[in-house]
Structure formats: C-alpha cells, structure tokens
Structure 1
C-alpha cells in the first residue's frame, strides 16, 4: 500500500511543480537555518571531556588583599605559584595538575627550517593522565622529572610531522630558545572543545605544540603567555613566584562526591591556615566547579550564538506555517479526487495516510535542500575570524537530525491539511461536481 501511496504522491507533486517547489523551498530554508545554528551551538557548548567531566574540578581561592573587596565577590579564576604548589604537593586529590600558557622558539636541527615560534604549555606530570591525552609515541614525563627539573618535552603530532616527518622522535633533542630538551612523548590528534583547561588563551584555542615541566619553563624564562593579576607590591622582581600574583590554572580529579566534599573542607582549612600566617585577609571564598559548571560560569558560549539559534527556530516555525497553508490549499483543491476515492470504498484512514505520505515526500526533498543550505551556511561560518570558526562541521548525528527534523516538519505541516481533506463528504462533493 505504501508503494501505491508513494506513486500517488509523485504524480500529485508533478502536477503542480511550482507549488511543490514552494513547499520544498519553505522547508529547506527553515531546516538549513536551524541546522546551521544548532551545529554551531553543539560545537561550542559540547562536553570537551565527557568521560571525565564529572570528576574534574577547578579550585578557586582568594588570596588577594582586602582593598576593593565587596561582599559576595567571586574568588579569582586563577591561582598563584605558591598556593598552587602548596595544594599540588598536599596530594589531597586523586590527581592534580598545575599549568600555565607559554611560548617556545623552536630551533630545528639542520638548515631545512628556520627557527619559529609556537605555543607551549608549562605544566606538571599529571597533565597527560588527568586529561586522558592520547599518545602517538612515548609517554608523558613523571613526577620525579618535575622534582629534578628535568629538561624533557612532549610535542604534538603536527609539530612532530613538521620537524621529523612523522617519524618516532622519542629520545631526540628539541632545542627551545637555546636550551636542549629530550623528547619523551608525542601527543596524537587531540583538541578538546572548548579549550576548558585554560580559557585564558582562548575558549576554542588549538592545543599547544610543546609541553615542558612547569618549573623548567619558568626557570629558563621561555616566555609566559596569558593573564597575570597582582596586588600589594605588584609581585616584585619575580612575579611568577610571588604569593601576590595569580596567573595559573589548577585542576584536580576527585572520583566520588565524598572526595569532592572532603577537598572543599581541605581548601577551607588551607585558607584558614594561611590566614593564621598573615595571608588571605578576605573572608573565605572557596569554589570547586566541575568542567561543565566551569564552562557555564565562564559563559563560554557566545550569547549571540544562542540568540541566532532562537531566531533560526522562529524562522523554522514561520516556514512551517507557510507550508501548512500551501499544503492546505493543495489538498483542498483535490476534494473531487478524495470524494471519488471515498465513494469507491477508501476509508478516511487510507486517505489520511495517502496525504501524509505525500507530505513526507515533500519533507525528504526539503531535507536534501536544507542539508545543502546547512553545508553552505557552515562554510560561511568557517570563513569568519572567530577561534571557533574552523570547528563548524556537520557530523553524522546532525546529518540524521537534518533528515528527522525535515520529516517531522513536513508531517506536522501535513496533519491539518490531511485531516481537513478527510472531512470531505463524498455525496455532497460528487453532487456539486
């Protein structure tokens, strides 16, 4: 029966190509606009590390002086070297990592490449296991390497391809600003989106090319990248190690809610202990946000993107209403045909099913057009200068969503016209004809 309904639908749609085209265009425009904005929103608001986002937390404490303090004020987003190291060495979490952005001037071996600058990450050994960083070759460095300030480095696959043609570079020497580092690992393709572990360097920034131990990067003054906030004396001659400056990110892994509660207690106790030593003059203001809570607090998703989604969905509703009107006009013009079918024995249910199949056919065509428009829209997004623009690609789930949304839209559009067509009284219609 479905094949027969499909044949009837095809014949009907070919009878009036202009009206058919208008319905397909209406659905296609609505679907294209909606899928484009929904894809961008999905990319921007996705979980960057879904397997661990519920157990990774960003601690915040407030060591600043009392000047300009206001009740209810949030603690700084960043942490200083002294407090970061104190919390790190306390070892109260399953894993913990301290990190900051940096620079690396790479001096390639030989003369094939000129020296060049790239982004670096100064961090501690747990960076690689805590964030589930995939390794192509080798491994990350160890806590012992941190302690002895070993000059070791981990590089990304893209930098490994550039310097070593993709060969296993573990054990080779990487020269950074005149200092030799031994490569111990190569990171495979990895780009968490958003760049949650350090939003200072960009909400949707690419992963840094070089990772070196935190103390080594600071001691050699390779060049720090990011925000630094100081108070009081302004950090003095060595702000990177001053207790009066914050510029780092601290992340901890806590596997259970009980461990999270215990770590909150530990943070409050730490603040109280430091206050007894003459620091932390402000009232306790301690926060411990998970990955998704942190992204929400930082308002990572641009507000204009959410607005665009609502506007696109509103446009889809307008297209839906227009399609309803077009289908209603088309179906009611076929009252005579419906009357004949009813007179020779077709039930209202069969007539209703016939018109829904026709509406579904319009939806399939609208889905094809909508997909093409969505691909065009995403291409236009990728031409924008924003750091997230290159991420705007449609994937399989959104491809399936396009088809499902188009079919749903067309079927919903066809419900009222199909129902109205079923209400035709065969005897009266045949008599009037």
Structure 2
C-alpha cells in the first residue's frame, strides 16, 4: 500500500513541476538556514569529553574581601585560584585525581636547520592532568608527582609540534629549547583538542587551537615562564607575584566517581573555606564555596554568544514562514484535486486512506527539500568557517546533524501537510461528483 501511495505522490508532483519546485525550494531554504545555526549551536554546546565529563568537577572558592566590588566588564576573580589555594587542594588528595593548571605561550628555539624560532601555546599542569582527562599518548608518558615536586625539566609534546621539530623520528628523549631552558621530551600525545576547551581559563578563547606542549607547573614557575591566563588581584602584592594569596590565575579540576565522593568534596571545600576564614585570609562565609560539574561549569561560562542565539531564532522564524507558505501551497494543490478525491471515495476509499496518501505526498516533498536543505546548510557552514570567530573552524556537520536535517525536513513538511490533507479528506464526494 505504501508503494502505491508513493507512486501516486510522484505522479502528482510531476503533473505540476513549477508548484512542486516552489514547495521544495521553500522547505529547502528553511531547513538549510535552520540546520546551519542548529549545527553551530550543537558544536558550541556539545560535551567535550563524552564518557568522562560526568566525573569531572570544577571547585570554586571565594577569597575576595567583603568590600570587593565586581566590575561589570572584567572577569570574576573567583573563576580562578590563587597559588596557595590551588596547591592546598591538590596536596589534600580528597578526590580520585586532582590537577592545577594554567595556559602559557612559549618561544620554541628549534635545533632543526632552517626552522626559525616561533611561539606555541601549551599548558602548565600537575601530574594527574593526563590520566584525569584521558589525554591519548602516541609515545612515552607524562611526568610523575615526584617529578612535579622535583621541578623536573621535562616536557610532553603534541604530535604536530613533535613532527615540526623532529620530523617523523621519535622525539622521546630529545631536548627542546623553550625560551632559555632546555627540556627533555618524555612523551608525545595525539593532537588532543576537546571542544570547547573546558579546562582553560574562562577568559580565554574556549574554541582556540589545541595545546602543543605540556610541562610541570612547578617547573614553569621555577623557570619564570609567563602564564597567559587571566590574573586578578584585590590587594597589594609583595614578593613572588605568582605565588601571592591575593592573585588568582590558576584552574583546578578534580575527578569524583560517585555521589558519596561528590558530597565529601563539597564538605571539604566548605571546611577549607572555614579554616582559611579562621586564619584571617577569607572574609566571606564558607557557604560561598561551590562545586560544578563539567557541563554545569560550561553553562555558567555562557559560551554560546547572544549573537549566535539570535541568529538561531531568526533561522527558526524563517523556517516557520516557509512552513506557512507550504501549508498554503499544499492546501491549494489538494483542494484542486477534490474531483479525484471524490472518485476515490465513491470507489470505496476511506478518509484515512486519502489522508495517508496526501501525508506521503507531503513527506516526499520534505525528503526532496531535505536534500536541497542539506546542500544549503553545507553552504551556510562553509560561510561560517570563513568568519573570524574562534568557533568558526568547528562548523562541520556530523552524522547526527546529517540525519537531523532529513528528519526535520520530513517532519516539517508532514506537519505543514496535516491541515491541507485533513481539509481534502473532508470533501463531500456527492457535491463534487455532480460537477464531473
């Protein structure tokens, strides 16, 4: 029966190619515009570490004075950690794993002939960074906690940087000069690039380029390497600026495997805040301490800009306009076939048979519109990739979005055809047969 109705749909659409083309074009334009923006939103708000994100948490403390007034334009200092607080949380070992980190950009001085010095982005971190985030290694391994404590002059390279410096040969055990320091390569990772870069400083580009080196945080401090994360202070600083209890610049992530650990860690943060308050460091209540899951933390960062959301709503509004036009065109098309419908009804066809016939015809229009919409969406995503925004390079349609394009096209066209199909199957056969 389905094959019969499908054949009827094709015959009907071929009888009026201009009207068919208009309907396919309308649904294709609406679907193409909508799926372009839905795809952009999808890649910007997706899970950066599927399978691991449910165990990753970002703690937050409140070391600010009571009289501190947050600027409406600057970043919140509480988004990052001071050195003493970050080291205390890491040293406490209250989670399965814990790591403190910060971003950095260093000058690489290649030994390779013909290669000029260049800057590259990377990450300073403590030892649990790799195991906690599941960073894949191609060769070698990360450093140990003992090497953290010993300020070992070691580095892990990303595959792209390793190939640039050493070609296809094994770089493990080789020396690389960062700034004025020689570091020994102990591992090479696959180009690990979770999007968004959830572990980075909240004020940095969440959809930036992948980190190409990783080195111990204590080593970076010992070598006076600059950190490119946001630095916020609220009091005068004496001595070592980066280790000041009045300067936030580090990020801390912890891995917690079950609700009991999560509850215990929340209590630990509250107790730590109360202890620091008793010592006179913290002035605000311990209840200001927070613990955010990875996806909750990303939601708090508002990574999807108001501009992207506005464009999505405009695209969906355009789809609604296209569907309204489809309703009008299908209504005119189906009612013009009242005589054909009446003959079928007189020969024994039921109203639901007529409704199903026209529903399948609407679905065929939607399927054709989906093919056109897919092409338009790909063109739209190509144009997005040429924009200067940091997320632009991510505008690629994955399999789920590909399937979603056709599903949305068919569903939209079937919904648009419900009223015309219902109206057509309600035609009184006797009145129409008199005119034949």
Match of residue 32 from structure 1: 32
**Alpha-carbon displacement from aligned partner over 1:277-308 (angstroms, at most 9, x marks no partner):** 33113333211111111111121221222222
Select 1:389's aligned residue among 387, 392, 397. 392
Distance 2:428 2:401 in 1: 43
Q: Answer whether contact 2:77 2:232 (CA < 8 A) is retained.
A: no
**Alpha-carbon displacement from aligned partner over 1:67-105 (angstroms, at most 9, x marks no partner):** 3258xxx87111111111112111111111000111221
Match of residue 64 from structure 1: 64
Q: Answer whether contact 1:108 1:174 (CA < 8 A) is retained.
A: yes
Distance 1:146 1:108 in 2: 25
Q: CA deviation at 1:357?
A: 1.9
Q: Answer whether contact 1:101 1:201 (CA < 8 A) is retained.
A: no
**Alpha-carbon displacement from aligned partner over 1:101-138 (angstroms, at most 9, x marks no partner):** 11221111231311111112111111101111111222
- 1:122 aligned to 2:141? no
Distance 2:28 2:169 in 1: 47
Distance 1:111 1:75 in 2: 44
Match of residue 324 from structure 1: 327
**Alpha-carbon displacement from aligned partner over 1:38-57 (angstroms, at most 9, x marks no partner):** 11111111111232222211
Select 1:228's aligned residue among 228, 231, 234. 231
The structure-2 alpha-carbon separation of the partners of 1:272 and 1:5, relative to structure 1 and needing over 3 Å to count, comes to closer
Distance 1:2 1:62 in 2: 65
Q: 2:413 aligns to what SS in structure 1?
A: helix
Match of residue 5 from structure 1: 5
Q: How many residues align?
A: 429
Distance 1:331 1:167 in 2: 69
Q: Answer whether contact 2:30 2:315 (CA < 8 A) is retained.
A: yes
**Alpha-carbon displacement from aligned partner over 1:300-323 (angstroms, at most 9, x marks no partner):** 221222222222222222211110
Q: 1:394 aligns to what SS in structure 2?
A: coil
Distance 2:49 2:189 in 1: 16
- 1:145 aligned to 2:147? yes
Match of residue 81 from structure 1: 83
Q: Answer whether contact 1:61 1:75 (CA < 8 A) is retained.
A: no
**Alpha-carbon displacement from aligned partner over 1:225-246 (angstroms, at most 9, x marks no partner):** 121111221x224211111211
The structure-2 alpha-carbon separation of the partners of 1:431 and 1:217, relative to structure 1 and needing over 3 Å to count, comes to same
Match of residue 42 from structure 1: 42
| Aligned pairs (5 A) from 1:23-422 | 23-68=23-68, 76-198=78-200, 199-233=202-236, 235-284=237-286, 285-422=288-425
Distance 1:302 1:166 in 2: 41
Q: CA deviation at 1:224?
A: 1.6
Distance 1:278 1:355 in 2: 76
Q: 1:146 aligns to what SS in structure 2?
A: helix
Q: What is the RMSD computed on CA atoms of the aligned residues?
A: 1.7
Q: Answer whether contact 2:363 2:414 (CA < 8 A) is retained.
A: yes
Q: Answer whether contact 2:112 2:166 (CA < 8 A) is retained.
A: no
**Alpha-carbon displacement from aligned partner over 1:11-55 (angstroms, at most 9, x marks no partner):** 211221111111111111111111111111111111112322222
- Show structure 1 runs of 5+ residues with no match: none
Distance 1:166 1:294 in 2: 39
Q: Answer whether contact 2:68 2:234 (CA < 8 A) is retained.
A: no
The structure-2 alpha-carbon separation of the partners of 1:166 and 1:67, relative to structure 1 and needing over 3 Å to count, comes to farther
TM-score by length of 1: 0.95
